[in-house]
Structure 1
Amino acid sequence: MIWYIARGAGVMALFMLTLSVMLGIATRQGKPLAGLPRFAIATVHRNASLIGLGLVVVHVSTLLFDTYANLNPIDLVVPFVGSYRPFWLGLGTLAFDLLLLIMITSLNRARLGLRAWKAVHWASYALWPIALAHGLGTGTDAAQVWMGALAIACATAVAATATWRFVT
Structure 2
Amino acid sequence: MHLTSSPVDWYAARAGGVVAYVLLSANVTIGLLMTGQKSMKHWPRFALEDVHRFGGILVGTFLVLHITAVAIDAYLPFSLTSLVVPLVASYRPIWTALGIVAAELLLALAFTNHYRNVQISYRFWRRAHFVNFVVWGAATLHGLGSGTDRSAAWFVLIDAVAVGTVCALITWRVLRRWRPSASLLRIAPVAAALIAVVTIGALARGPLRFQPKEWNAASFSDTLQGRILVNNGVTRGIVSMAGNGTGSQRVLVRADLLVSPQRLVSTEFQMEYLPSGALCTGTVTQVHGSSFRATCHLPDGAARYIDAHWPQSVDGTVTSGVLTAHA
TM score, norm. by length of structure 1: 0.93
Give the equivalent residue in structure 1 for 2:99: 92
> What amino acid maps onto 2:168 in structure 1?
A
Structure 2: gaps spanning 5 or more residues: 1-7, 177-327
Give the equivalent residue in structure 1 for 2:156: 148
- Judge which range, 155-164 or 88-97, deviates more: 155-164
Q: How many residues align?
A: 168
More helix by percentage: 1
* Bigger-Rg structure (1/2): 2
Q: CA deviation at 1:79?
A: 1.2
Q: For the residues of structure 1 that align with 2:129 and 2:85, how far apart are their CA atoms? A: 21
Q: For the residues of structure 1 that align with 2:80 and 2:41, how far apart are their CA atoms? A: 43
Q: For the residues of structure 1 that align with 2:140 and 2:93, how far apart are their CA atoms? A: 16
- Contact preservation (8 Å) 1:17, 1:48: yes
TM score, norm. by length of structure 2: 0.49
Is 2:42 the counterpart of 1:35? yes
Q: CA deviation at 1:104?
A: 1.3
Q: For the residues of structure 2 that align with 1:34 and 1:73, how far apart are their CA atoms? A: 47
- Contact preservation (8 Å) 1:77, 1:96: no
Q: CA deviation at 1:167?
A: 4.3
Q: For the residues of structure 2 that align with 1:21 and 1:64, how far apart are their CA atoms? A: 27
Moved over 3 A (4+): none
Partner SS for 1:110: coil
Q: For the residues of structure 2 that align with 1:95 and 1:34, how far apart are their CA atoms? A: 33
Q: For the residues of structure 2 that align with 1:128 and 1:151, how far apart are their CA atoms? A: 11
Q: CA deviation at 1:3?
A: 0.7
Is 2:90 the counterpart of 1:61? no
> What amino acid maps onto 1:108 in structure 2?
Y
Q: How does 1:3-14 map to 2 (within 5 A)?
A: 3-14=10-21
Give the equivalent residue in structure 1 for 2:128: 120
- Contact preservation (8 Å) 1:91, 1:133: yes
Give the equivalent residue in structure 2 for 1:138: 146
Q: CA deviation at 1:151?
A: 0.5
Q: For the residues of structure 1 that align with 2:28 and 2:127, how far apart are their CA atoms? A: 16
Give the one of 95, 107, 117 matched to 2:114. 107
Give the equivalent residue in structure 1 for 2:173: 165
Q: For the residues of structure 2 that align with 1:24 and 1:87, how far apart are their CA atoms? A: 28
CA deviation map 1:83-134 (0-9, x unaligned): 2211111010000011101111111112201111122211101110110110
> What amino acid maps onto 1:153 in structure 2?
V
Q: For the residues of structure 2 that align with 1:66 and 1:133, how far apart are their CA atoms? A: 23
- Contact preservation (8 Å) 1:75, 1:93: no
Identity over aligned residues, as a percent?
35
Q: CA deviation at 1:156?
A: 0.9
> What amino acid maps onto 1:84 in structure 2?
Y
Cα RMSD for the two superposed structures = 1.4
Higher relative contact order (CA 8 A, sep 6+): 1
Q: For the residues of structure 1 that align with 2:126 and 2:71, how far apart are their CA atoms? A: 33
- Contact preservation (8 Å) 1:30, 1:38: no
